[in-house]
Chain A
Amino acid sequence: MRAIQDFFSRTLAYWQAAPMALVFGFFFLLPLAATAMVSFWEYTEYSIEPAFVLTNYSDAFDGCISSLPDLCTTFRTYLSTLFFCGGTWLLTLIIGFTVAWFLAFHVRTMTMQIVLFTLCTIPFWTSNVIRMISWIPLLGRNGLMNQLLLSLGIVSQPQEWLLYSDFSVLLAFVHLYTFFMVVPIFNSMMRIDRALIEAAYDAGASGWQTLWNVVVPLTKPGITIGSIFVITIVMGDFVTIGIMGGQQIASVGKVIQTEISFLQFPAAAANAVILLISVLLIIVGLTRLVDIRKEL
């Protein structure tokens, strides 16, 4: 009896961690392992066979090396996805940091902070798709924006680049994901001792100097976490790019989705693994900038 008690008290921490570990194992690690496994299987137009072949991977990069310096479809798709990823990251970072800065340092009362924070969440009260579709009457050929520009005489004919373009995709991404930057950055900023800002002022630092030398370094953990959110979401996205790009813009997520719809599961799995590795590489690069575990 005593021995059993000892065993449980010694392993208590493991028992406490077990439920989460099980959920994590079943719903994350297991599917991931299955995806990795399927990515090595063989498939034809009518069958999928368990095997261990690398053809799915070599097909993904078919002709990519031989056609250099011209870019193959896969490389161009990745480049386009990286462009949206980088652009969205930069814009959400700038806007998110500014909003968080305003909320954390310029809004004085807690009540007002909560009110404004809730305002930021309003876009999330409707579904992703509805929010995207709402851009169409605004940005379309005969949309509000074009009517406004025409009536003000700024342009002489409707602008095509407003919708179904790189611009509209970026716009939708920024609109959808800025809040994912705001939250962690705001959280980091709220932990900054206000006396540090005063100390910087006392030392003769200007507003920009304080921002760059005190606030930004101390906000790095929040910036990193927000960046991980935005980058992982945008890298895998195919819905936003599809709708806002008028189904004309390629993305890695779209490639995978197309392969799945043609039941080419091994090929889709291989592309998913490649995407996963690229995203992990980006995040490893980011965390190199700041050790999150240390900062948390």
Chain B
Amino acid sequence: MRPADLELATVIKSYGDTVAVRGISLKVKAGTYCCLLGPSGCGKSSTLRMIAGHEDVTSGDIVLGDDIVNELPPAKRGTAMMFQSYALFPHLNVRDNVAFSLRMKGIAKAERHKRADAALELVAMGQYAARLPAQLSGGQQQRVALARALVTDPQVLLLDEPLSALDPFLRIRMRAELKRFQRDLGISFIHVTHSQEEAMALADLIVVMKDGVIEQAGSPQEIFNAPATEFVARFMGGHNVLTVGAKRVSVRTDHVSLAPAGGPGKAAAVQEIEYQGSFVVVSLKAADGQELTATIAEKAFYAAPFGLGDDVTVSWDPANEHLLTN
């Protein structure tokens, strides 16, 4: 395995008149867990498929290590893809699924079975080698798909919404496993998702996309603490987007504090109170018409509770105000 950097240089993808990706540039260092995050139609899947070699690049370059790989077929790029619904071959057993790419290369049966079994051991699926995909649970199928992608020793693993087919409980468990595999293997994972929670939990590098361009790229902390644009602040959640003077700013909902009416700060009325366990979400409507949300620790809230319709004062430390660009 030769971990390699991945670089996209003003990559554009258009389908006839519609432009899916509008010239994105991105550097992903070897061994990075990178999440492409955005709503559907933002171009994240097209970007992934161009890196994989399943879509042609309209213009721009995709560079893996020292090579421009635009013209190479997927198997020659050093990438491997894990498909959304896993795309396991239903007529082949688990071992033959994993060994498929080796068989296509003409590697002898004994050798390819050995390597397939090794890949299956890696994902703890060794004892299921003789089963058919239909006889496995969703989580097991995912591990087989992972083993099938890893058997080619890729430098970059591409994952297209890998967790979306799983139920919420399993999703969190498989999420942790993906992260662990990425750490152990030391290769880059490029993971497409529309769930900011998933991206925050997994990524070293989050790339937030909208309408075919990158809105912001950075570590989860950078993105969450200093969203660059209103879109990022809203999409990541946990932010109030407010107009202060002539500027648009964001303030994290947990940086907002509430006090009885009359104190220094913004006058507002309580619209809705949601109990979430360790914290309470209070929806507010300010006197100037802006809507705000405050998340307050359970203990703090019930020490001095507010009721629906109460008039309160909302305040925050100006240092927690982040300027947004549009």
- How many A-B pairs have beta carbons closer than 8 Å: the answer is 59
Contact with A along B217-230 (1 / 0, CB 8 A): 00000000000000
Q: Are A196 and B54 in contact (CB under 8 A)?
A: no
Q: Are B90 and A209 in contact (CB under 8 A)?
A: no
Q: Which residues of B contact A195 (CB under 8 A)?
A: 83-85, 87
- A218 nearest in chain B by CB position: B91
Q: Are B75 and A193 in contact (CB under 8 A)?
A: no
Interface of chain B residues 158 through 196 with chain A (CB within 8 A): none
**B4-12, B27-35, B97-105, B113-121: which lies at the interface:** B97-105
Per the bound structure, the CA–CA distance linking A214 and B84 in Å amounts to 19
Per the bound structure, the CA–CA distance linking A88 and B99 in Å amounts to 37
Q: Are A204 and B91 in contact (CB under 8 A)?
A: no
Q: Are B87 and A199 in contact (CB under 8 A)?
A: yes
- Chain A CB within 10 Å, residue with most, of B53, B80, B81, B105: B81
Q: A195-B83, A195-B84, A209-B104 known; A201 and B89 CB under 8 Å?
A: no
Contact with B along A183-218 (1 / 0, CB 8 A): 000000000010110111111111001000110011
B74 within 8 A of A: yes
Per the bound structure, the CA–CA distance linking A34 and B137 in Å amounts to 52
Q: Are B104 and A198 in contact (CB under 8 A)?
A: no
- A194 nearest in chain B by CB position: B87
Q: Are B52 and A202 in contact (CB under 8 A)?
A: yes
Q: Are A202 and B91 in contact (CB under 8 A)?
A: no
Q: Are B75 and A199 in contact (CB under 8 A)?
A: no
Contact with A along B93-112 (1 / 0, CB 8 A): 00000001101110000000
- A204 partner, pick from B73, B89, B148, beta carbons under 8 A: B73
Q: Is the interface of B mostly helix, strand, loop or mixed?
A: loop
Per the bound structure, the CA–CA distance linking A205 and B152 in Å amounts to 13
Per the bound structure, the CA–CA distance linking A209 and B100 in Å amounts to 11
Per the bound structure, the CA–CA distance linking A15 and B210 in Å amounts to 59
- B100 partner, pick from A193, A200, A218, beta carbons under 8 A: A200
Per the bound structure, the CA–CA distance linking A196 and B54 in Å amounts to 13
Q: Are B104 and A203 in contact (CB under 8 A)?
A: yes
- A196 nearest in chain B by CB position: B87
Q: Is the interface of A mostly helix, strand, loop or mixed?
A: helix
Q: Are B54 and A204 in contact (CB under 8 A)?
A: no
Shortest A89–chain B CB gap in Å is 23
Q: Are A198 and B87 in contact (CB under 8 A)?
A: yes
Q: Are B104 and A199 in contact (CB under 8 A)?
A: no
Q: Which residues of B contact A205 (CB under 8 A)?
A: 100-101, 104
Q: Which residues of B contact A217 (CB under 8 A)?
A: 91
Shortest A220–chain B CB gap in Å is 8
Contact with B along A163-196 (1 / 0, CB 8 A): 0000000000000000000000000000001011
Interface of chain A residues 3 through 33 with chain B (CB within 8 A): none
- Chain B CB within 10 Å, residue with most, of A195, A203, A218: A203
Per the bound structure, the CA–CA distance linking A131 and B91 in Å amounts to 40
Q: Are B74 and A202 in contact (CB under 8 A)?
A: yes
Q: Are A193 and B85 in contact (CB under 8 A)?
A: yes
Per the bound structure, the CA–CA distance linking A203 and B103 in Å amounts to 9
Per the bound structure, the CA–CA distance linking A102 and B83 in Å amounts to 25
Per the bound structure, the CA–CA distance linking A196 and B91 in Å amounts to 11
Interface of chain B residues 37 through 65 with chain A (CB within 8 A): 52-54
Shortest B81–chain A CB gap in Å is 5
Q: Are B89 and A199 in contact (CB under 8 A)?
A: yes
Q: Are A218 and B75 in contact (CB under 8 A)?
A: no
Q: Are A204 and B87 in contact (CB under 8 A)?
A: no
Q: Are A193 and B87 in contact (CB under 8 A)?
A: yes
- Chain A CB within 10 Å, residue with most, of B73, B74, B100, B148: B100
- A204 nearest in chain B by CB position: B75
- A196 partner, pick from B89, B103, B148, beta carbons under 8 A: B89
Q: Are A202 and B85 in contact (CB under 8 A)?
A: no
- A202 partner, pick from B54, B84, B88, beta carbons under 8 A: B54
- B100 nearest in chain A by CB position: A203
Interface of chain B residues 62 through 86 with chain A (CB within 8 A): 73-76, 80-81, 83-85
Per the bound structure, the CA–CA distance linking A201 and B88 in Å amounts to 13
Shortest A192–chain B CB gap in Å is 9
Interface residues of A (CB under 8 A from B): 193, 195-196, 198-206, 209, 213-214, 217-218
Instruction: List 22 contacting pairs A-B, 8 Å CB cutoff, sorted by A.
Output: A193-B85, A195-B87, A196-B90, A199-B87, A200-B100, A201-B75, A202-B52, A202-B74, A203-B101, A203-B148, A203-B152, A204-B73, A204-B76, A204-B101, A204-B104, A204-B105, A204-B152, A205-B104, A213-B103, A217-B91, A218-B90, A218-B91
6 A-B pairs with least C-beta separation: A204-B75, A203-B101, A195-B87, A199-B87, A217-B91, A205-B104
A199-B81, A204-B75 provided; 12 other pairs, C-beta below 8 A?
Answer: A195-B83, A196-B89, A198-B54, A198-B81, A198-B83, A202-B52, A202-B53, A202-B81, A203-B75, A203-B152, A217-B91, A218-B91
